[in-house]
């Protein structure tokens, strides 16, 4: 690009425009700041010097001197809540809610903040009442989410189901898995009070919402089994294969037990062997090992575990193989096998865990409701090694 004379004029022009704009902004800022009390700037200074406590005191003074500083009220209120000073947050937000001159939208914002203070303070009934007042406000979605959290804490599953449905209407996102889990919780409660019929109804509702609910099918089978209807229980648990065969192992013990009750133990073992062929899983091998050992003795159990290890070589399988080996080993070699078994067992403890796919929490037992993140059905039915070896 060639240099032209007119460019000489453009640069000063840009410079002048920038200077003018800066002056105008500065003027505006100065006129605005002259309206603010001195404590406001003191507060800012304290904040910049990372003296939070002094900053808060200064800002409180601003709020007392100039009640119009609504945004500062909100900022301070939520700061108090974050710092765990719930009493102060509550006072700040209650003061806003009770002000007669507050615009309607600001009043709703204050109520929303107040409800969160109650929740954080553990005053669940007040939090619930306050969030309920916001169900038709711009804070509806967040309020429903908080209410859902409250009803789960209170184990009020009917209300949790209602909120879950509202959330679907508000967000368009599916909550079927959670809603179905709430029905299972309702059923579980009914079972503890001996109301099997009511439990059956809720489990039917769980399956209506989420036909893939393995938990509902397992629980329905349990009701039949307890009522002595072993055949019906078996038919129900067999449905898991269509839902998701990875979960079959969770019903393996039950299937075997129901077959035994019918005097058909061999059929039960055959069924599990068939599942193991199609969907290999160490949990199935464990159940089969016990069953074969009890029915056909140590040699048969050892051969079964050995075959499965060949077919599906995993460390969990090796651990089981060594356990089976100990049943057959001669006295002379026993100490060696025991030593190897102990070593392998120690090294693979983490591989034998179930883990939550949402938060990664690991547990020896299977959970439908994660005790760490409170996610529903977030656990894979496979143990870590079989689930990609994540430890």
> Where do contacts with Zn ion occur on this chain (CB under 5 A)?
356, 358-359, 361, 370, 372-373, 375
Q: Which long-range contacts (CB under 8 A, 24 or more apart) does 120-127 make?
A: 120/81, 120/86, 120/89, 121/86, 121/90, 124/150, 124/153, 124/154
Residue whose pair of structure tokens reads 């079989």 in the numeric block = 386
Give the residue from 135, 89, 87, 79 showing the smallest Cα distance to 110: 89
Least distance (Å) between residue 376 CB and Zn ion: 10
Rg of the chain taking only CA atoms, in angstroms = 33
Report the nearest approach of Zn ion to the CB of residue 29 (Å): 49
Minimum distance of Zn ion from residue 35's CB (angstroms): 50
Contact 219, 253 (CB under 8 A): no
Of the two residues 243 and 358, which places its CB atom closer to Zn ion in the complex?
A: 358
* Spatial distance between the Cα atoms of 379 and 387, rounded to a whole number of angstroms: 11
Q: At its nearest, how many Å lie between Zn ion and the CB of residue 383?
A: 16
CA distance 320 to 340: 12
**Residue 107 Cβ vs Zn ion, minimum distance, rounded to whole Å:** 37
Long-range pairs for 128-131: beta carbons < 8 A, 24 or more residues apart: none
CA 229/CA 212 separation, integer angstroms: 23
Quickly count: other Cβ atoms within 10 Å of residue 278's Cβ: 10
Least distance (Å) from Zn ion to the CB of residue 366?
Answer: 13
CA 216 – CA 203 distance, rounded (Å): 5
Q: What's the CA gap between 73 and 34, in Å, rounded?
A: 20
Which of 315, 359 has the CB closer to Zn ion? 359
Q: What's the distance, CA 183 to chain centroid?
A: 17
Pick 102 or 372: Cβ nearer Zn ion = 372
For residues 351 and 137, give the distance between their C-alpha atoms in angstroms, rounded to a whole number.
49
Q: How far is the CB of 181 from Zn ion (least distance, A)?
A: 14
């Amino acid at each position: 690009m060639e240099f032209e004379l007119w460019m000489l004029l453009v640069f000063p022009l840009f410079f002048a425009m920038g200077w003018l704009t800066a002056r105008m902004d500065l003027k505006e800022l100065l006129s605005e700041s002259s309206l603010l009390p001195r404590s406001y700037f003191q507060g800012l200074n304290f904040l910049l010097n990372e003296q939070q406590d002094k900053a808060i005191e200064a800002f409180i003074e601003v709020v007392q001197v100039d009640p119009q500083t609504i945004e500062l009220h909100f900022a301070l209120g939520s700061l108090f809540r974050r710092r765990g000073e719930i009493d102060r947050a509550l006072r700040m937000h209650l003061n806003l809610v009770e002000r007669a001159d507050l615009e309607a939208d600001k009043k709703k914002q204050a109520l929303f903040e107040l409800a969160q203070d109650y929740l954080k303070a553990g005053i669940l009934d007040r939090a619930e009442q306050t969030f309920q007042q916001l169900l038709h406000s711009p804070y509806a979605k967040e309020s429903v989410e908080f209410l859902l959290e409250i009803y789960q804490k209170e184990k009020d599953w009917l209300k949790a189901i209602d909120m879950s449905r509202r959330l679907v209407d508000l967000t368009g996102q599916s909550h079927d898995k959670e809603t179905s889990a709430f029905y299972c919780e309702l059923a579980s409660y009914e079972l503890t009070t001996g109301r099997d019929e009511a439990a059956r109804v809720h489990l039917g509702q769980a399956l209506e919402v989420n036909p893939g609910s393995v938990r509902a099918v397992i629980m329905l089978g349990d009701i039949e089994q307890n009522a002595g209807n072993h055949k019906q229980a078996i038919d129900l648990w067999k449905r898991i294969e269509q839902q998701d065969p990875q979960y079959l192992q969770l019903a393996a013990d039950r299937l075997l037990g129901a077959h035994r009750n019918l005097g058909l133990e061999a059929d039960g073992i055959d069924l599990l062997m068939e599942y193991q062929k199609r969907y290999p899983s160490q949990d199935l091998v464990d159940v089969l090992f016990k069953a074969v050992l009890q029915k056909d003795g140590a040699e048969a159990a050892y051969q079964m575990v050995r075959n499965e290890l060949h077919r599906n070589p995993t460390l969990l399988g090796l651990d089981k193989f060594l356990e089976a080996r100990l049943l057959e080993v001669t006295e002379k070699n026993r100490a060696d096998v025991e030593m190897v078994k102990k070593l392998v067992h120690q090294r693979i403890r983490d591989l034998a865990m179930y883990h939550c796919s949402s938060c990664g929490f690991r547990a020896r037992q299977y959970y439908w409701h994660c005790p760490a993140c409170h996610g529903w059905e977030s656990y894979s039915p496979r143990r870590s090694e079989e689930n990609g070896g994540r430890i």
